[in-house]
Structure 1
Amino acid sequence: MSFIQEFKKFAVRGNVLDMAVGVIIGGAFGKIVTSMVNDIIMPVIGIITGKIDVSSLKFTIPSSIAGAEPVIVKYGQFLQNIINFLIICVCVFFMVKVINKLMKNEEAVKPAPKPTPEEILLKEIRDILKENKNK
């Protein structure tokens, strides 16, 4: 089997396509959450904390070498990324919860399948055999 045929067989499997769709939607969802955090949540937190922009929080460690640049530790950006992560986790949790609830509702709505003619016949035979055994 050639490399191209093998790759084609791999690429068109259902799981790979599902994963690709998930990655694309996840990337777009990540941008939405980042915008929500940067443009809505963080300004509100800034107002509550006295106009502090969390992403700009940092501390500077002076260099021990003369003329060298000081080391800047941007812990505020790290905090903002943690907030982004937590919001994404909460959103994914609620999405999975809603999807699971919808799946359970679909399963509950499905009526029991009608027995096939073979199953009906087998039940009749079983009942006749039970009657003959009890005589």
Structure 2
Amino acid sequence: MKKFFQEFKDFAVKGNMIDMAVAVVIGTAFNAVVSTLVKKVIMPPLSLLTEDVTLANKKYILREAAEGIEEVAIGYGELIEVSIDFIIIALTIFVVIKGMNRFKSKAEDPKDKEVITPKNIELLSNIEHLMKEQNELLKKK
């Protein structure tokens, strides 16, 4: 488990541009799913811990609203929800890219010596074999 978190840290800090591009695409695709998951599945039980106050409504009021004056507040509850969204998206992207890299490393395995022979070289090899057989037959006559 420690190795998993170390790899996640390395990915988050040192990820290359392709990994980041894939992360943006996948993150965008998962955004609606993760937002719904957080708002409709994760946050309701958390609101029970905060005395049935929706976490998104939590804020620190700097200036109360008055007649003609708007309220000024720091909305830390929304920050918590967005942070949970981010963590879920980042972990999902990490797992997907880790799987892709595993397949990539297997494809680039230096121990795998199987090389597909190009068609033209294979045909030349067959012609060479046929010519050798023909020469052997001509020598026997």
Q: TM-score, normalised by structure 2?
A: 0.52
Of the candidates 91, 97, 112, which is equivalent to residue 114 of structure 2?
112
Counterpart amino acid of residue 89 in structure 1: A
Q: Which residue of 2 aligns with 1:5?
A: none
Q: CA RMSD in A?
A: 3.5
Q: Which has the higher contact order (CA 8 A, sep 6+)?
A: 2
SS in 1 for 2:61: strand
Q: Which residue of 1 aligns with 2:86?
A: 85
Partners of 2:51 and 2:84 lie apart in 1 by 19
Counterpart amino acid of residue 34 in structure 1: S
Stretch moving more, 54-63 or 71-80: 54-63
Q: CA 1:39–1:25 in structure 2 vs 1: closer, same or farther (change >3 Å)?
A: same
Partners of 2:98 and 2:57 lie apart in 1 by 35
1:95 is the counterpart of 2:96: yes
Give unmatched runs, 5+ long, in structure 2: 1-20, 122-141
Partners of 2:23 and 2:84 lie apart in 1 by 22
The question of whether the paired residues in 1 share the 8 Å contact of 2:60 and 2:74 is answered with: yes
Give unmatched runs, 5+ long, in structure 1: 1-18, 118-135
Partners of 1:55 and 1:30 lie apart in 2 by 17
> What percentage of residue pairs aligned between the two structures are identical?
27
Q: TM-score, normalised by structure 1?
A: 0.54
Counterpart amino acid of residue 54 in structure 2: D
Q: Which residue of 2 aligns with 1:74?
A: 75
Q: CA 1:51–1:110 in structure 2 vs 1: closer, same or farther (change >3 Å)?
A: farther
Partners of 2:98 and 2:75 lie apart in 1 by 35
Partners of 1:114 and 1:60 lie apart in 2 by 69
